[in-house]
């Protein structure tokens, strides 16, 4: 089974949950293109990095909007990874970054990953946060999407998420 980014669910709501994500390392690239193109463009250099360095694939693949037609695509490194122990990428576009602990509101959805589905679920999650009086951290492009399954998995079995950083006190 593929290792997933570590978190604890701190509160469940009817349609979403608040998670406390542990700090982690990511391998990240910046790419230009539409949402769908960016996922494809970013996947290849990241996959080459982990394959060439015998690093296990983990989930999710994270996609973060930077601005119109610019994205950051990330692979979470296996737990226990250390910046000093990860090899430097032969591709200068791949950066290794430390991501701090953080609270995220997360809404799961299934099926193929599309811009329309992402927009719909982003609006649902933002509406739910307003309803519950939970404050988001960051501006308009503060969200990230998370894909957990390989492209060959049947669409009705695929798990995707919208994740928004939030202010939370336990």
Domain locations along the chain: 3-165
Query: Quick one: residue 119, left, alpha or beta (phi over 0 = left, psi -120 to 50 = alpha)?
Result: alpha
Q: Where does the pLDDT of residue 129 fall: very low under 50, low under 70, confident under 90, or very high at 90 and above?
A: very high
Residue among 133, 101, 123, 107 nearest 15 (CA): 107
Q: Give percent of the chain with pLDDT exceeding 70.
A: 99
Cα 138 from Cα 15, distance rounded (Å): 22
Please state whether the peptide bond connecting residue 120 to the residue before it is cis, i.e. omega within 30 degrees of 0: no
Cα 148 from Cα 143, distance rounded (Å): 17
Please, are residues 118 and 125 in contact by the beta-carbon 8 Å criterion? no
The yes-or-no verdict on residue 133 having pLDDT over 80 is: yes
Q: Give 36-79 pLDDT, tens digit per residue.
A: 889 889 999 999 999 999 999 999 999 999 988 899 999 999 99
Please, are residues 30 and 70 in contact by the beta-carbon 8 Å criterion? yes
The yes-or-no verdict on residue 30 having pLDDT over 90 is: yes
Q: Where does the pLDDT of residue 2 fall: very low under 50, low under 70, confident under 90, or very high at 90 and above?
A: confident
The yes-or-no verdict on residue 136 having pLDDT over 90 is: yes
Report the pLDDT averaged over residues 141-148. Answer: 93
Cα 113 from Cα 107, distance rounded (Å): 14
* pTM summary value: 0.93
Q: Which CATH class is domain 3-165?
A: alpha beta
Q: Where does the pLDDT of residue 104 fall: very low under 50, low under 70, confident under 90, or very high at 90 and above?
A: very high
| DSSP state, residue 107 | E
């Amino acid at each position: 089974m593929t290792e997933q980014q570590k978190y604890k669910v701190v509160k469940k709501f009817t349609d979403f949950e608040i998670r406390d994500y542990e700090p982690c390392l990511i391998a990240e690239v910046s790419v230009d293109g539409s949402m769908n193109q960016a996922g494809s463009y970013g996947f290849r250099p990241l996959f080459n990095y982990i394959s060439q360095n015998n690093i296990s694939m983990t989930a999710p693949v994270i996609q973060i909007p930077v601005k119109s037609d610019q994205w950051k695509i990330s692979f979470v490194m296996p737990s226990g990874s250390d910046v000093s122990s990860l090899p430097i990428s032969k591709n200068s576009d791949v950066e290794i970054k430390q991501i701090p602990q953080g609270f995220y509101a997360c809404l799961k959805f299934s099926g193929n990953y599309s811009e329309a589905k992402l927009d719909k679920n982003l609006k649902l999650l933002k509406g739910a946060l307003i309803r519950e009086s939970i404050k988001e951290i960051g501006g308009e492009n503060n969200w990230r999407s998370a894909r957990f399954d390989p492209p060959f998995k049947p669409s009705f079995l695929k798990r995707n998420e919208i994740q928004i950083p939030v202010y939370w006190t336990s």
